[in-house]
Amino acid sequence: MADEPPVTPPPAASGTAEAVRGRLLVVDDEPAILDTVGRFLGFIGYEVRTAATVHEALATARDFLPDLILLDVMLPDGDGFEVMRRLRADGLPHGIVFLTARDTRKDVVRGLTEGGDDYITKPFGLDEVAARVSAVLRRTRSAPATDPVLRVADLELDTARHVVSRAGTTVDLSPTEFRLLRYLMLHSGRVVPRARLLEHVWSYNFNGDDTVVATYISYLRRKIDALGPGLIHTRRGVGYSIGELG
């Protein structure tokens, strides 16, 4: 197939595996590319997850929190630009490297100006992919780091360690509860509409049924607000906010 890169299988492994160099998400709807690129990057020391659709990419990125995403532009249920926009809106601090057959100058310029860190066109070599990934990780990791700990009053959420505590007491949250709380805390002091929570926390809209948001807000309140004054507030008919009432 013309869009598939010419690849050479990685050399046979020898010795012990080195420490993980970073967490990567590879997004492409071609199974051969997912398999070959994913196996190669895993072989050279990265922890790798894969996804084949916009929906899978959003869900995996929000759970896995990769350091870098290798992202195809053309996906069966949307495009890579949509994935990048939605994850950037979530505040996820990863690098984006486009890996695509869309090779016109216009496409490359769009990918870089809209927030991509690099742009690789097919066909490509695995050594080139590895070099580009390493270079982007060096740049993004040397940039001034944002505080991975979000704070609202006495509530803290540590993104890197996936730990939540209030007034020093650890709060046990499910992955979905964690994503919902994180998104609210990223937008603390503002009312977040229910539709936006559905889009950014669950990645799809449940056919317009937003009762799932109210259900999970109630779960959070039982765990978070049980430890102190209420921090999670409802703006009837609009959405939810987090913060102290002044």
Q: Which of 14-23, 82-91, 108-117 has the lowest mean pLDDT?
A: 14-23
CATH code for the domain of 184: 1.10.10.10
CA distance 92 to 84: 10
189 and 87 inside one domain: no
**Are 121 and 27 in a shared domain?**
yes
- Cα–Cα dist 4/15, whole Å: 31
pLDDT tens per residue across span 167-184: 999 999 887 888 899 989
What pLDDT sits at residue 82?
Answer: 87
Number of alpha carbons in the 13 Å side-chain half-sphere of residue 229: 8
Is residue 111 domain-shared with residue 181, that is, in the same domain? no
Q: Which domain holds residue 121?
A: 23-142
Same domain, 110 and 136: yes
Judge if 181 and 71 occupy the same domain.
Answer: no
Whether 164 maps to a domain, the answer reads: yes
Answer whether residue 3 is part of any domain.
no
Q: What pTM does this model have?
A: 0.62
Question: Are 162 and 216 part of one and the same domain?
Answer: yes
Cα-based torsion angle of the residue sequence 10, 16, 17, 19 in order, rounded to the nearest 10 degrees: -150
CB atoms within 10 A of CB 237: 7
User: CA-to-CA distance for 93 and 87, rounded, in angstroms?
Assistant: 9
Out of 73-82, 84-93, 228-237, least confident range: 84-93
Per residue in 186-227, pLDDT (tens digit) is 889 899 998 888 877 765 544 455 688 898 899 999 999 989
| Cross-strand bridge partners of residue 79 | 74
Q: How far is the C-alpha of 57 from the C-alpha of 51, rounded, in Å?
A: 5
Q: What pLDDT does residue 16 have? A: 34
